[in-house]
């Protein structure tokens, strides 16, 4: 199962690094001054995470129920990251709005998959 999900694991490790690193690590990265850009980043990270999981497991997913069950992986992972930020770091805190934007990213990926899938070979029922 690990071999079939190499990219999903890689994305999870990148999210782990980004979530637990000191925010000053990224001070030298040029960031456009957009209000609440961190929420956009959370949305994109978890949209990407869910999309990679779906892509790597596309041949195993037969219905929406399975898709919803698989979505619990990034959902609980995102919650775990927020808890770990509060417990393991002194420079970060958990944020319920981060969890909200993670969840919106996950479900946007799900909806996109459900919408696109009928146009591809093999439909999710």
Provide the token pair at 50.
């869910």
CA distance 29 to 86: 24
pLDDT in the model for residue 1: 66
DSSP-derived 3-state class of residue 7: helix
pLDDT in the model for residue 11: 97
| Nearest residue to 50 (alpha-carbon basis) of 108, 10, 99 | 108
Q: Give percent of the chain above pLDDT 90.
A: 62
Please give the residue that has the higher pLDDT: either 70 or 25: 70
């Amino acid at each position: 199962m690990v071999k079939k999900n190499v990219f999903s694991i890689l994305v999870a490790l990148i999210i782990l690094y980004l979530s637990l690193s000191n925010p000053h690590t990224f001070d030298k990265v040029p960031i456009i001054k957009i209000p609440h850009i961190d929420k956009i980043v959370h949305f994109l990270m978890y949209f990407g995470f869910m999309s990679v999981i779906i892509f790597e497991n596309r041949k195993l997913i037969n219905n929406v129920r399975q898709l919803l069950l698989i979505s619990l992986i990034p959902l609980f992972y995102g919650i775990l990251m927020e808890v770990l930020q509060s417990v393991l770091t002194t420079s970060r805190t958990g944020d319920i709005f981060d969890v909200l934007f993670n969840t919106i990213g996950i479900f946007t990926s799900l909806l996109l998959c459900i919408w696109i899938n009928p146009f591809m070979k093999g439909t999710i029922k």
